[in-house]
Amino acid sequence: MQKSSLIFMILLVFVMIACPIHAGVVDGLVPCVVSLMQEVDEGKEVFIGSGFLVRTDDKTFLITASHVSEKLGVKWLIVMPGADGKAITAHAINLNWKESPGADVAVTLLDIKDSERKKSILNRSLPLHHLSARPLPPSRDIPLTVMGYPLRFGSSGYVSPLSVETKAASGFITLPRFDNGQLANFILLQDPSIGGLSGGPVFDTGMSYFEGGRKIAAREGVSVVGIIHGVISDKTGGKFAVVIPSTEILGVIEDIQKY
C-alpha cells in the first residue's frame, strides 16, 4: 500500500479524550466500534455499515466488510462515541482499502499526521493481538457479543453501538458470498443479523459461562472471532447471522504490513 496516497483528516467536535479498551468488559469495547457513512453533500450523509479500529505499535487500522467499503465512495465519515456519548466525526478522503482475495474483508491504514489526534485514535483502538488467530471456530458453548450500528443509530447526536449476545450455531461452513457469489468460509450465529451490522466485530469477551451452576468455560481477555457478513434465511423465516472468521482479517493486515 502506498502511504503517500493516504489522506486522513479528523475534525473533532471537541478535544477527544478517548476511552481506553478494557479487555473483558463489553462497555470497554465501545470506543473501538465505529459507524461508517457516505458523505453525499455537506450536511447530508448516507449510513453504510459498521467497522472497528485495531492498532499495532503506532499504527491504526480500520476494518470492515469489503461490500461496505465499496459503497463508501471518495468522501466518507467515521462516526464514533465520545467519552460523554456525543458523536465524534472523522472525515476520510481517498483512503486505500486492501481487500482479501476471497473473503468479504477490507482494511485500511489510517495515516494520521497530528500527534495528539493519532494518540487519541490509538487509545480507542483494540490491540491486534486480540484478533483470534485460532484456525478453529469458536466453541458453541461460549457467549459471543456482536457490536455495530444498525438502523442508522450511529448517524447523529448521541451515538452508541448496539450489542447482542449470542452463540455460534456452526463450525466453519462454506457458503456463497452474498455480495458476489464467491464461495467462502463462514461461521453461523444462533441469532440473525440486522441491516447496518455488516462489518461489525464479533467478540468472545472472555466471560465465564455457567450451566446448571457449573462453570464450563473460563477464559481471559477479549478476542475478535470475526466480522458480520450478513444474514441467511429460508422460506420458514429462520435466520442466522453469517460471520467472516478473524483469520481472514489477519491475512489482510499482514499483507499491508509487508509494504
pLDDT reported for residue 27? 87
Q: Per the confidence metrics, is the pTM higher than 0.95?
A: no
For cell 476471497, what's the residue?
102
- Domain final residue pick, 68, 102, 129: 129
**C-alpha closest to that of 162 among 21, 70, 26, 3:** 26
Residues 23 and 122 in one domain: yes
Q: Do the domain assignments include residue 122?
A: yes
Measured CA to CA, the distance from residue 239 to residue 236 in angstroms comes to 9
Number of domains in the chain: 2
Q: Are residues 158 and 221 part of one domain?
A: yes
| Whether 184 and 241 share a structural domain | yes
Q: Which helix (H) or strand (E) holds 251?
A: helix 246-257
The answer as to whether 134 is a domain residue is: no
Mark whether 173 and 206 lie in a shared domain. Answer: yes
User: How far is it, in rounded angstroms, from Cα 82 to Cα 208?
Assistant: 29
Residues 208 and 108 in one domain: no
Mind listing the pLDDT tens digit of every residue in the chain (259 residues)? 444 333 444 333 322 334 444 444 688 899 999 999 887 776 667 878 999 999 988 889 999 999 999 999 888 889 888 878 788 888 887 678 999 999 999 999 988 777 888 888 888 999 999 999 988 999 998 899 999 998 765 455 778 889 999 999 999 999 999 999 999 999 999 999 888 899 999 999 876 555 555 555 555 678 999 999 999 998 888 899 999 999 999 999 999 887 7
pLDDT given for residue 199 in this prediction: 97
Burial of residue 240 (number of CB atoms within 10 Å: 0-12, 13-18, 19+): buried
User: How far apart (Å, rounded) are the C-alpha atoms in residues 202 and 228?
Assistant: 7
Mark whether 246 and 159 lie in a shared domain: yes
- Domain holding 154: CATH number? 2.40.10
78 and 166 housed in the same domain: no
Domain that holds residue 207: 144-251
Q: Who's near 1: CB < 8 A, 6+ residues apart? A: 96, 98, 109, 256, 259
Kindly state whether residue 30 falls inside one of the protein's structural domains: yes
Same domain (yes/no): 90, 157: no
Answer for the pair 198, 67: CB distance below 8 angstroms, yes or no: yes
d(CA 68, CA 49): 6
- Any domain includes 92: yes
In this structure, how many other beta carbons lie within 10 angstroms of the beta carbon of residue 230? 21
Q: What is the pLDDT of residue 8?
A: 40
Is 239 a domain residue? Answer: yes
41 domain-assigned: yes
CB atoms within 10 A of CB 213: 5
The answer as to whether 136 is a domain residue is: no
Residues 181 and 74 in one domain: no
Backbone angles phi, psi at 243, to 5 degrees: -120, 135
| CB-CB neighbours of 35 under 10 Å | 31
